[in-house]
């Protein structure tokens, strides 16, 4: 499956391939590997070879990416994009990124990221409200151990 991350304009910013692990009418789970140079983010580092299990939804204003250490499979945490609900057509999933992100560490800490970038973005009032709803919902999922975060609360 191909994954397209798009800008607000619809321009494709990043495209990468992954393997479908699960698919329903409203969701697809794609397994991918970080194949770029290491990326130090401060709260975690994406290391070449790390594995991602990515959850894309057609009915939620976010997607969730579980990050596992290559080789050991140990969970580093979950990176969540606040975004327009994904479009899933054939073997392509497309999402429009709305700047705001959330990091959920493997011990449950929650960091809201890129709030300044989100505040400065040219988004209309409807999109801003949908983004806030997506942010609140993904935080609730993490706190309550829902969806991809279920393993977080069994530790």
CATH number at residue 80: 2.40.380.10
In a domain, residue 153? The reply is no
Band of residue 68 on the pLDDT scale cut at 50, 70, 90? very high
In a domain, residue 45? The reply is yes
In a domain, residue 81? The reply is yes
User: What is this structure's pTM?
Assistant: 0.95
Token reading at 2: 């191909």
In a domain, residue 155? The reply is no
- Total domains, the chain: 1
Kindly report the length of the chain.
Answer: 155
Q: Which domain holds residue 115?
A: 2-147
In a domain, residue 128? The reply is yes
Indicate if the pLDDT at residue 154 is higher than 70.
no
Average pLDDT over residues 74-101: 97
Q: Are strands 75-83 and 62-68 parallel, antiparallel or unpaired?
A: antiparallel
End-to-end CA distance of the chain: 31
Indicate if the pLDDT at residue 155 is higher than 60.
no
In a domain, residue 34? The reply is yes
pLDDT value, residue 151: 79
In a domain, residue 154? The reply is no
Band of residue 24 on the pLDDT scale cut at 50, 70, 90? very high
Indicate if the pLDDT at residue 22 is higher than 90.
yes
Sign of the dihedral through C-alpha 112, 57, 105, 96? negative
Q: How many CB atoms lie within 10 A of CB 141?
A: 22
């Amino acid at each position: 499956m191909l994954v397209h991350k798009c800008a607000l304009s619809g321009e494709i910013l990043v495209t990468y391939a992954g393997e479908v692990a699960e698919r329903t009418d409203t969701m697809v789970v794609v397994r991918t590997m970080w194949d770029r140079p290491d990326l130090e983010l401060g709260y975690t580092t994406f290391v070449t070879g790390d594995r991602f299990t990515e959850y894309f939804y057609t009915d939620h204003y976010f997607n969730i990416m579980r990050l596992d250490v290559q080789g050991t499979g140990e969970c580093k945490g979950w990176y969540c994009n606040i975004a327009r609900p994904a479009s899933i057509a054939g073997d392509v999933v497309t999402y429009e990124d709305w700047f705001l992100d959330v990091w959920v560490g493997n011990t449950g800490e929650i960091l809201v990221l890129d709030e300044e970038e989100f505040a400065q973005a040219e988004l209309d009032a409807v999109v801003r409200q949908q983004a806030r709803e997506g942010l609140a919902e993904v935080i609730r999922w993490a706190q309550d151990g829902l969806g991809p975060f279920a393993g977080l609360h069994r530790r």
